[in-house]
Amino acid sequence: MAVTALMKRRLIAAGLIFLSLGRAFGKDDGIEYNALNHLFDRNLASAVLAAPWLPWVWQNKGCASGQRSPASTPGPKVDVPVEIDPSQETNVSTTALHDIGMVMEHIHENYPEAVGDEQLIEAATEGMLKSLDPYSGVVDSEERKSRDAIYKDQSNYSGTGIAFQPKNQDQYPVVYYTYPESPAYLAGIRSGDALLAVDGLDVRGLSLDEIVEKIQGPEGSEVSLAVVSERPPAAAAPRQVALRRTVFALANVYFEMAAYRVGYVDIRGFHEKTAGDVERAIVALKKEGMRRLIIDLRGNTGGRVSAAEDMAKQFLKKGDIVVQVAGKNSSSSVATAQDGPFVDMPLAILVDYNTASSSELFAGALQAHGRALLAGSQTHGKGIIQHPKENFPFPGHTTWMTQERYYFVNGRTVGYPQTGDNGLVPDIVVTNDASLLEKIENDRLMRMMRQPLPNPTPDEVLRAAVRYFYAQAVR
């Protein structure tokens, strides 16, 4: 028999219910997805169209109140020092799925343009994930490749030379700095400017990763940015800036002697080679007579969690817990140190609001052990970890969703959108004059690029760490 539009929508709703039943009965992801995929087939037999038997199965399998069948009862949950409620309902109710079907039917009957069911399902999925936090969503295969590149060694990349501050959902991204002599810098884009659009696309609702992916592209290609310097951004008329992408050779780790026997290491991100690069930098500084070390994480928005863990282990003694990672349905993972090479090195870490994610993991782990002094201003607050799930829920797409939080040895976590947790609080709170921030950041970039710096701008945060070390030496 022919499958009408109404019958097809019922079929999709039945498929969604069947999908949730698969979860309730402990089916693996492949079976769940294949079941839903087949239910999209227009030529499928119509026996399940009305699906009168589904509510009966749901109620008679002990799942009406969100409880799983005995065969798939989950094991004991991880005992973590936060509220992860194992009794929270995880099954999709038939009422919720019915509501989705009703919305789809309303769209098909009243929206003036034709809209495909697959398009609506994809948009609904994206909307659900976006509602969780700013870091969850769905990306296609090309976006996944770009996102993977962000966490690899970034000694070379093709783009415009802009780095952004961490952003919350529904905010326009703000420029943190522009690399000297980059296309963005030469076009007059500066720290504090807000980006409104990329190639005409409003970016307020996009994640920072999505924005970076859209700005980057092949060498020589052009991208158009709409930027404003006034506040609030939405109230100002943007200026359109056309930029030609170019390839950058970027250093990720810079080091020098900051003062007498005080070494300085500046880290821009946590990538595949970061831990090794930092270790080599510290060894080189020790050969120059370094007795105390300052690590600068200001503006470091994170990267690979494993890279931050590996670097923290270099400063902790055997048995020290770097971090504990746990989620609702994942086993607890504990990273433990094994007598790092710099366990006796006095250490200070410079942080600010743009210190986020893996940077906070590194700084927070050492602060929790009393192993490092933190100087600067409160960090951003992002203590959650996202995991990719490939070809889910659609072929060629990857779901990127928050699944875990990390905890320090003192039991605290840092930053989670739903709890309002704040970032790390420095032991020494000190800030630079706001009018000097851009100059100080430019000085750091010039050093990173090994450019001469005849008149460096006074950096009070760095000076505070040096003064702390000198005071300790006098004692």
pLDDT digit string, tens, across residues 208-242: 878 888 898 888 999 999 999 876 666 668 899 99
pLDDT score at 458: 92
Higher pLDDT, 21 or 131: 131
Using the 3D structure, point to which of 249, 281, 313 is the last residue of a domain: 249
What residue has token string 């943007």?
A: 238
Q: Is residue 280 located within the same domain as residue 192?
A: no
Q: Is residue 121 located within the same domain as residue 19?
A: yes
Asked, for residue 67, whether it belongs to a domain, the answer is yes
Asked, for residue 300, whether it belongs to a domain, the answer is yes
pLDDT score at 150: 55
Task: Tally the domains of the chain.
Answer: 3
Asked, for residue 144, whether it belongs to a domain, the answer is no
Q: Is residue 326 located within the same domain as residue 453?
A: yes
pLDDT score at 474: 53
Asked, for residue 147, whether it belongs to a domain, the answer is no
Q: pLDDT confidence of 37, banded at 50, 70, 90?
A: very low
Asked, for residue 136, whether it belongs to a domain, the answer is no
Asked, for residue 406, whether it belongs to a domain, the answer is yes
pLDDT tens-place string over residues 424-460: 999 999 999 988 888 888 888 788 877 777 788 999 9
What residue has token string 């950058």?
A: 248
State how far the Cα of 36 lies from the Cα of 351, in Å rounded to an integer.
47
Listed range (21-30, 178-187, 391-400) with the worst mean pLDDT? 21-30
Q: Is residue 320 located within the same domain as residue 436?
A: yes
pLDDT tens-place string over residues 329-365: 876 788 898 899 999 999 999 999 989 999 999 999 9
Question: Would you say residue 79 has pLDDT above 50?
Answer: no
Q: Tell me, what CATH number does 409's domain have?
A: 3.90.226.10
Q: Is residue 101 located within the same domain as residue 176?
A: no
Listed range (130-134, 294-298, 450-454) with the worst mean pLDDT? 450-454
Closest CA to 184 of 157, 207, 215, 151: 215
pLDDT score at 287: 96
> Which residue pairs, CB below 8 angstroms and at least 24 apart, start in 74-80?
74/329, 77/328, 78/326, 78/330, 78/331, 78/332, 79/332, 80/324, 80/326, 80/332, 80/405, 80/407
Q: Is residue 201 located within the same domain as residue 67?
A: no
Q: Is residue 379 located within the same domain as residue 413?
A: yes
Work out the mean pLDDT of the chain and round it to a whole number.
78
pLDDT score at 439: 85
State how far the Cα of 54 lies from the Cα of 60, in Å rounded to an integer.
10
**Ramachandran region, residue 320 (left: φ > 0; alpha: ψ -120 to 50; beta: rest):** beta
CB 12 within 8 A of CB 21: no
Using the 3D structure, point to which of 249, 278, 307 is the last residue of a domain: 249
- Give me the domain span that covers residue 460: 253-474
Q: Is residue 240 located within the same domain as residue 167?
A: yes
pLDDT score at 66: 33
Question: Would you say residue 35 has pLDDT above 50?
Answer: no
Asked, for residue 151, whether it belongs to a domain, the answer is no
Q: Counting Cβ atoms within 10 Å, is residue 52 exposed (0-12), middle (13-18) or buried (19+)? A: exposed
Q: Tell me, what CATH number does 170's domain have?
A: 2.30.42.10
Q: Is residue 73 located within the same domain as residue 215?
A: no
Q: Is residue 111 located within the same domain as residue 167?
A: no
Question: Would you say residue 151 has pLDDT above 80?
Answer: no
Using the 3D structure, point to which of 216, 249, 282 is the last residue of a domain: 249
Question: Would you say residue 36 has pLDDT above 50?
Answer: no
Q: Is residue 109 located within the same domain as residue 160?
A: no
Question: Would you say residue 316 has pLDDT above 60?
Answer: yes
Q: Is residue 421 located within the same domain as residue 282?
A: yes
Give the whole-number percent of the chain exceeding pLDDT 70: 73
Listed range (61-65, 91-95, 129-133) with the worst mean pLDDT? 61-65
Asked, for residue 149, whether it belongs to a domain, the answer is no
**Residue 455 in 3-state DSSP?**
coil
State how far the Cα of 408 lies from the Cα of 31, in Å rounded to an integer.
37
